[in-house]
Amino acid sequence: MENEGAVSSFMKVLVSDGERSARFYEGLGFERVQSEPPFLHLKWRGTADVYLVSMPSGVGMEDRRGVGVLLGFRTGEGGVDAVAALAAQGGVSFEGPTLQPWHTREIVITDPDGYRLNFIEPA
């Protein structure tokens, strides 16, 4: 049973401070869709859903999360340069842009909890 308009995939990431993380993502161009703690629902340019899930108080998180995983987003209009400019404007460092052998140009930005966000455009 297909539900038209339903999201077929999404990302859920555990964060230590939902509001801080939401501000970080919004600074990169994500749009806040819904805020109902412990979930903050964000959308990337209408194409990707990200759920920031705040950890309950008293629950510790490991130092680095998502080791070996990149959360990938196609940049769309403005490309990686536009995302890099927003990151720089917010004082956020990033890796790249890098021209990859698989014909993409990419930057990687690490969020406040250590998740690595990979923004991609065709090269």
For residue 57, give Cα distances in angstroms to 2, 25, 38, 75, 91.
38, 22, 11, 34, 28
Task: State pLDDT tens for residues 61-72.
Answer: 666 667 788 999
The per-residue pLDDT for 46 is: 87
Are 88 and 75 spatial neighbours (Cβ–Cβ below 8 Å)? no
List per-residue pLDDT tens for the chain, 123 residues long. 455 555 568 999 999 899 999 999 999 999 999 998 889 999 999 889 999 999 877 766 666 667 788 999 999 889 999 999 999 999 999 999 999 999 999 999 999 988 999 999 999
The per-residue pLDDT for 1 is: 45
Q: Which residues pair with 12 in a beta bridge?
A: 51
* Rounded Cα gap, residues 38 and 22, in angstroms: 12
Cβ neighbours of 93 (radius 10 Å) = 8
| Structure tokens that stand for 17 in this block | 């401070």
Task: State pLDDT tens for residues 18-34.
Answer: 999 999 999 999 999 99
Domain layout of the chain by residue ranges: 10-56+69-122
What's the CATH architecture for 10-56+69-122?
Roll (3.10)
Residue 23's H or E segment, with its range, is helix 18-27
